[in-house]
Amino acid sequence: MARRPVEASFEAAPNIALVKYWGVRDEALGLPYNSSLSVTLNRLRTRTTVRFDPKLSSDRFLLDGEAQSGGPLTSVSGFLDTVRAIARFETHALVRSTNNFQTASGLASSASGFAALAGAASLAAGLHLSPADLSRLARLGSGSASRSLFGGFVEWRAGTRSDGRDCFARPLHPPSHWPSLVDLVAIIADAPTKPVRSSVAMQRTVATSPTYAQRQRELPRRLRAMKRAIAVRDAPTLFDLTMEECDSFRNVCETTVPTLDYLVPASRAVLADVRAANEENGTTLAGYTHDAGAHVHVFTLQRHAGTLRRRLARIHGVAKVLALSPGRGARPIRRWRA
């Protein structure tokens, strides 16, 4: 690597999983037990600048202006070690990043964070990786980050190889595929910060949940049905499958020993309200889902979004409701300072 500092910046958005990734067959390589499917979102974003600087004696990581230590710094530095090994140099880096939404609360900051880091670090290291290689690289930082490289509707294939060569994400449809689809995100006031990262929690589920094996058997059928519903824009079927999958994910979390309970009463009130709205209308006009956190995503169509948004905003403990759409994939940005 050159004696002068080299720098690059990247932007990436979080994604919300419609079919969840929860459990790895290889922890070092981050190889999941099942394929997953997600929607990359607009409006929420991470921006990251990586600067490799020969003057630094160790890596530094500033998140939203604050110097990080412990787990977050270790994860970033470990990730940079992989990039340095590929690029064959040892220079340390200053990483500056901002998330324009709450970190570690179930809104997938690790997905946008490691997708942006993969892009910025590989560019600054002079690597020009293909989209599939970038996705494989991002996967090593956070599984869900492999999907945030791409916009719109994205599938991350579990693959079968032990070296992970066939384990990366690919775009299924661009953001413009379904313009009337809306994701209303009920932001829960005082959503707790997660005590452990999802990658740690999911392995507890694999080891202890008595219903995990049954969930794994159900997933291929659900994934196929969901891909069909998205391809033909069949909203009621997609929303029903989204809730079925979310309930299955929550079930394996709740049956983990000790239990994993990511929801708070306001989150549960949102789920109940979506069920009630569907019941009242006699048709499935919305479908809820959540990741490992208290915030709840409610998918619906543009024509129902206004009414539903007002309804959800009235729930006690819901701070606000964001109206998001499928968004763009990760991309380089011009020099930018956190």
Which residues of the shown chain bind ligand ADP in the complex (CB under 6 A)?
A: 46, 48, 63, 71-72, 75-76, 97, 99, 103-111, 113, 117, 194, 197-198, 291, 293
Contact partner, 103, from ligand DP6, ligand ADP, none, Cβ < 5-8 Å per class: ligand ADP
> Which one, of 53, 47, 137, 49, lies nearest residue 93 by Cα?
53
Residue 197 binds to ligand DP6 (criterion: CB under 6 A): yes
- Among ligand ADP, ligand DP6, none, partner that 143 touches (CB below 5 to 8 angstroms by kind): ligand DP6
Give yes or no for a contact between 323 and 307, defined as CB atoms under 8 angstroms apart.
Answer: no
Q: Which two tokens stand for residue 218?
A: 């159900």
- Indicate whether 205 belongs to the interface with ligand DP6 (CB under 6 A): no
Residues 159-178 that bind ligand DP6 (CB under 6 A): none
Query: Rounded to whole angstroms, how far apart are CA atoms 187 and 205?
Result: 26
Distances from the Cα of 9 to the Cα of 55, 113, 122, angstroms:
20, 12, 10
Could you tell me which residues are beta bridge partners of residue 288?
298
Nearer to ligand DP6, 52 or 262 (CB): 262
The two structure tokens encoding residue 152: 């719109």
Nearer to ligand DP6, 24 or 129 (CB): 24
Neighbour order of strands in the sheet with 181-188: 286-289, 296-301, 181-188, 318-324
Residues in the chain: 338
- What does residue 139 show for φ and ψ, rounded to 5 degrees? -55, -30
Name which of ligand DP6, ligand ADP, none residue 104 binds, using a CB cut-off of 5 to 8 Å depending on partner kind.
ligand ADP
286 touches, from ligand DP6, ligand ADP, none (C-beta below 5 to 8 Å by class): none
In the bound state with ligand ADP, the residue whose beta carbon lies nearer, of 118 and 315, is 118
DSSP letter string over 177-192? Answer: G-TTEEEEEEEETTPP
Minimum gap (Å) between residue 119 Cβ and ligand ADP: 12
Contacts of residue 332, Cβ cutoff 8 Å, sequence gap at least 6: 8, 9, 10, 11, 119, 120, 123
Chain positions 142 to 161 lying near ligand DP6, rule: CB under 6 A, are 142-144
| Part of the chain binding ligand DP6 (CB under 6 A), chosen from 174-182, 191-199, 233-241, 267-275 | 191-199
Torsion of CA 290, 298, 37, 29, to 10 degrees: -30
Tell me which of ligand DP6, ligand ADP, none is bound by residue 72, counting a contact when its beta carbon lies within the kind-specific cut-off of 5 to 8 angstroms: ligand ADP
From 140-148, 182-190, 209-217, 232-240, give the range in contact with ligand DP6 by CB under 6 A.
140-148
Site string for ligand DP6, 86-125 (x = CB under 6 A): ------------------------xx--------------
* CB nearer ligand ADP, residue 298 or residue 305: 298
Residues forming a β-bridge with 331:
11
Of 199, 242, 248, 289, the one binding ligand DP6 (CB under 6 A) is 199
Peptide bond into 220 cis (omega under 30): no
Smaller CB distance to ligand ADP: residue 76 or 298?
Answer: 76
Task: Kindly indicate which of the ranges 40-48, 196-204, 221-229, 314-322 contains the residues binding ligand DP6, using the contact rule CB under 6 A.
Answer: 196-204
Closest distance to ligand DP6 from the beta carbon of 84 (Å): 20
The 3-state DSSP class for residue 48 equals strand
Distances (CA, A) of 72 to 26, 34, 109, 141, 154: 21, 26, 12, 11, 26
In the list ligand ADP, ligand DP6, none, the entry touching 24 (Cβ below 5 to 8 angstroms by class) is: none
End-to-end CA distance of the chain: 24
Strand bridging mode 60-63 / 93-99: parallel
Given the rule CB under 6 A, which residues bind ligand DP6?
Answer: 17, 20-22, 36, 110-111, 142-144, 197-199, 291-292
